[in-house]
Amino acid sequence: MEEKKALLIVDVQNDFCPGGALAVPEGDKIVPILNKYMMIFSKKKWPIFASRDWHPKESKHFKKFGGPWPEHCIQNTKGAGLHPDLRLPKETILLSKGMDPDKDSYSAFQAVDAKGTGFFELLKSSGINGLFVGGLATDYCVKSSVLDALKHVFKVKLLMDAIRGVNINPEDSEQAIEEMVRGGAEKMTLQELSQYEKNRKPGR
């Protein structure tokens, strides 16, 4: 069966980038690389999804209300905005998660589009079976999204040059990558994807 691909960009939001409320070191460094992935996907007319953390002001996800995290990505704030240099093509499907004040949501598979349709249903209805995943952070939302994708039997490519981790413990990202690969994810880089596409015969 031919692979039908889609790109998932996880939570590249101001609060997760340097200067934000929950900054991932070098989180913004992946933006120009993601832009290049998006150009490839857009040219091929392969779907692009971008997820965002989209929390209410009061959430058990936050320290202030008993959760693990400082406040971040509160709906309609600048911190919740996607990084301004991220060049999302207009056909990008925006997914939101974390709206339930009683739940932590890390995975894009807990996210819904503007009409409330879940990510899994969106992928299934367009016959997508291969998911390319980049974004923030390697050791949390990228990891959860990838492990869920594998659970749902998608072929997953982990975009090694377009992820960054929080690393509360210094080896967290490394361990997360190991776990994703053990689960079946394959590592990929922009160079490998460009090379692969160049070598494919036209018409396929």
Which member of 5, 11, 53, 139 is catalytic? 11
Question: Cα separation of 115 and 86, whole Å?
Answer: 23
151, 185 in Cβ contact below 8 A?
A: no
For residue 114, the 8-state DSSP code is: T
- Please pick, from the candidates 15, 53, 139, 161, the single residue that binds Zn ion as defined by CB under 5 A: 53
Question: Does the annotation mark 15 as catalytic?
Answer: no
Per rule CB under 5 A, is residue 161 in the interface with Zn ion?
A: no
Residue 174's nearest CA partner among 193, 182, 86 is 182
155, 29 in Cβ contact below 8 A?
A: no
Which member of 15, 73, 97, 161 is catalytic? 97
Which member of 5, 28, 73, 141 is catalytic? 141
What residues numbered 83-102 form the site for Zn ion, per CB under 5 A?
Answer: 98
The residue number whose beta carbon is nearest to Zn ion equals 53
Question: Cα separation of 97 and 49, whole Å?
Answer: 13
Nearest CB to Zn ion, comparing residues 21 and 150 = 21
Question: Does the annotation mark 187 as catalytic?
Answer: no
Query: Residue 55 Cβ, how far from Zn ion at the closest point, in Å?
Result: 6
Question: Does the annotation mark 97 as catalytic?
Answer: yes
Name 32's bridge partners: none
Active site amino acids: 11, 97, 141
